[in-house]
A and B are shown apart, each in its own frame.
Chain A
Amino acid sequence: MNQSRVRVPTYVKIFPRYWSPIEALQRVAIYMILSAGAIIVLMPFAWTLSTALKEPADIFTFPPQWIPDPIMWSNFPTALSAYPFGRWLRNTIFVVSISTLGILLSCSLVAYSFSRLRWPGRDVLFLVLLATMMLPGQVTLIPTFILFRYFGWVNTFLPLIVPPFFARNAFYVFLLRQFFMTIPLELDDAARIDGASYFDIYWRILLPMSKPALAIAAIMFSQFKWKEFMAPLIYLHDSEKFTIALGLRAFMGQYGPETDWNLMMAANIVFMIPLLIVFYFAQRYFIQGIVFTGIKG
């Protein structure tokens, strides 16, 4: 019985089809280049982690010491208690979750209107919407600041969480519209015949069917909001109100920490961890989002 089975040589397992020596060399070269690139990309992260776990005396050594000795896990609690990190974290989670909810609700409703309802002026307005995606934010920055200042919203979270409820980031309207276009219109008609209202169609049919697209939007937007820097910088002034991104800058101070780079890097890692965790579990959605719209988050 065993004789009928052909023994597979090891080199065939590594190279699934026959490779000429030149091709094999090319493959090796490709792997080497890709790995070298990957190491270069990963090195700053590794160094950040290494620095975050060092004791102060070991930060400024030559040659560079990769494995900290001793490993100072206590840098993390020290860094976090040196500043109101818990407070910043809570602020950030509040801002991120409320504004993501706002973006999902407003953009999906608007996308429904632009993709499935007929009304005069729709197509022209959609072009306008697409144009706003390309508009550099600087043009509206100053007047928007003056407007929010007039509302008395400076030093509150409102400038960060209200615009998302008005579909301020048109990109997500575009993304959801593209997805809605792939859902057959017959579903709407059938629901209409059964007496469903337009809102029913949106709420009970489209949204449940669009969970993947909504997930992409939620992930991309919440990551963007977690990292957002300029708006918090302009609107939040009391350190009580900071988001964690703004807090990092406060940590760093105007001229950088003179000696506390280990604590700085520990704080930086705390900031990065949620981004990395979400990326790890939702990679599929990141890739899809990019392939889908051709735009990186």
Chain B
Amino acid sequence: MREVIEVRVTAKRHAKSDTVWRRSSLQWKEAITGIVFASPWIIGFVLFIAGPMLASVVLSFMKWDLLTSPKWVGLSNYKKLIFDDPLVYQALKVTTIYAFTSVPLQVILGLLLATLLNQRIKLLSLYRSIYYLPSVIGGIAVAIMWRWILGTRFGLINGLLRLIGIQGPSWLGDPKWVLVSFVLMSLWGTGGTMLIYLGGLQSIPTELYEAAQVDGAGTWARFIKITVPMMTPVIFFNMIMAIIASLQEFVAPFIMTNGGPHNASLFLVLYLYRNGFQFFQMGYASALAWLIFAYIIVLTGLVLRSSSAWVYYEGSMRGR
């Protein structure tokens, strides 16, 4: 009798622990499978992102030309970056001027174009495709194309200007005009962001416009008082993306001017490329990379900080 009870108890206990074990084994199996399936990214993250980031910090304190062995030089790369290299200031200046003109203009133009396209017009998809075309081609092909078009003597733009009696400038050859050229080119490609605006515009409830119209608001008032405030989250997003992209501009200046004339289009990443892959100063180039990173963080951080003052999120209590 006692034996039987004992057997029952152990059997019961066994059964209980068995179910517990089985359930947790299922969870274990799921967890292990999850980690195994995520492992391509985890390995890639360690090998190609986290590892290189750490290495980049270490490298920025070293002098290394890849041929001789690396030498620890402490802060001297950063000292050179801040105090002894006028080209860093030139690159910062060029990139800043470009970003501060091209980004706001892109935002305004993109929003205006999207508003026009949002008027229930015919041929919407045709216009949309045309405006998106520059983003499809992108990069080097566009740079080559514009280098030809902006030619001083035989370029299309100066040819057309001459037809109406204007002597066009030396777009890419004049330090005063070269950044203007790059800004114009970036505006030409603004259709890529316009699509995102269009998506945002289509989600604005039409009742708002109808109510405003009943109250007698004109087209312009409706645009300023309804469209712009409702679009601020999209504007904010596009602005951040445009800032990041403009601070990393490389292909166009590399192909069209190679930084010239007189370093007037020496963008930061172009200068980084030169130091890393033409002068083989791996340490100094790493320090420069961190400068670019810091600059991106600072600018996007400022926009982020300011956003509470001008970005309107529906449902949030602003300023309370």
Q: Which residues of chain A have a CB within 8 Å of any CB of chain B?
A: 26-27, 30-31, 33-34, 37-38, 40-45, 47-48, 51, 59-60, 62-64, 106-107, 109-110, 112-114, 117-120, 122, 125, 128-129, 132, 134-147, 149, 163, 165-168, 170, 173, 198-199, 202, 223, 227-230, 234, 245, 248-249, 252, 254, 256, 261, 264-265, 268, 271-272, 275-276, 279, 283, 286-287, 290-291, 294-297
* Residue in chain A with minimal CB distance to B109: A37
* Contact across chains for B141 and A113 when beta carbons are under 8 A apart: no
Q: A294 and B199 in contact (CB under 8 A), knowing A45-B133, A139-B53?
A: yes
Set of chain A residues within 8 Å of B47, measured between Cβ atoms: 147, 166
Query: Is there an interface contact between A136 and B296, defined as CB atoms closer than 8 Å?
Result: yes
Q: Give min CB distance, B55 to chain A, whole Å.
A: 4
Q: Is B178 part of the binding interface, using a Cβ–Cβ cutoff of 8 Å?
A: no
Q: A119-B31, A146-B282 are in contact. Are A48 and B116 (CB under 8 A)?
A: no
In contact, A44 and B149 (Cβ under 8 angstroms): yes
CA distance A33 to B127 in the complex (A): 11
Known contacts A143-B52, A146-B55, A147-B52; is-contact A166 B289 (Cβ 8 Å): no
Q: Which residues from A are CB-within-8-Å of B191?
A: 41
| B-side contacts of A163, CB under 8 Å | 44, 48
B312 at the interface (CB under 8 A from A): no
Q: Does B180 belong to the interface (CB within 8 Å)?
A: no
Residues B55 and A34 in contact, CB atoms below 8 Å apart: no
A44 touches B145 (CB 8 A): yes
Cβ of A264 and Cβ of B296 under 8 Å apart? no
State A136–B140 Cα separation when bound (angstroms): 20
B10 CB-CB contact with A under 8 Å? no
B interface residues (Cβ-Cβ under 8 A, vs A): 27, 30-35, 37-38, 40-45, 47-49, 51-53, 55-56, 59, 66, 113, 116-117, 119, 121, 125, 127-141, 144-149, 153-154, 156, 159-160, 162-163, 188, 191-193, 195-196, 199, 219, 234, 237, 241, 244, 247-248, 250-251, 255, 258, 269, 272-273, 276-277, 282, 285-286, 289-290, 292-293, 296
Q: In whole angstroms, how far apart are the Cα atoms of A170 and B41 in the complex?
A: 8
A41 contacts which of B159, B188, B292 (Cβ < 8 Å)?
Answer: B188
Question: For residue B147, which residues in chain A have a CB less than 8 angstroms away from its CB?
Answer: 252, 256
Q: List, sorted by A's number, 17 A–B pairs whose CB atoms are closer than 8 Å.
A: A60-B153, A60-B154, A107-B41, A109-B40, A114-B38, A117-B31, A118-B31, A119-B38, A132-B45, A139-B52, A142-B59, A142-B276, A142-B282, A142-B286, A227-B140, A248-B141, A275-B137
A38 touches B130 (CB 8 A): yes
**A199 / chain B contacts, CB cutoff of 8 Å:** 33
A247 to B242, CA, bound (A): 28
Q: Is the CB of A63 within 8 A of B163?
A: yes
A211 to B123 alpha-carbon distance, docked (Å): 29
Give every chain B residue within 8 A of A245 (Cβ-Cβ): 139-140
- Least CB distance, A172 to chain B, in whole angstroms: 10
Q: Of A34, A135, A229, which one neighbours B140 at CB under 8 angstroms?
A: A229
CB proximity of B278 to chain A, nearest CB, Å = 11
Contact (A138, B136) CB under 8 Å given A41-B131, A296-B193 = no
Q: Nearest CB to that of B113 among chain A residues?
A: A37
Q: Would A106 and B41 be within 8 Å (CB), given that A166-B47, A295-B241 are in contact?
A: yes
Q: Do A139 and B289 touch across chains, with their CB atoms under 8 A apart?
A: yes
User: Closest CB of chain B to A20's CB: distance in Å?
Assistant: 13
* CB-nearest residue of chain A to B134: A41
Residues of A within 8 A of B55 (CB): 143, 146-147
Complex CA gap A129/B48 in Å reads: 13
B123 nearest CB across to chain A (Å): 9
Residue from B116, B145, B250, B255 in contact with A30 in the complex, judged by beta carbons closer than 8 Å: B116
The answer to whether B156 and A64 touch across the interface, beta carbons within 8 angstroms, is yes
Which of A41, A114, A132, A223 interacts with B130 by CB under 8 Å?
A41
Please determine whether A43 and B56 come into contact, CB atoms closer than 8 angstroms: no
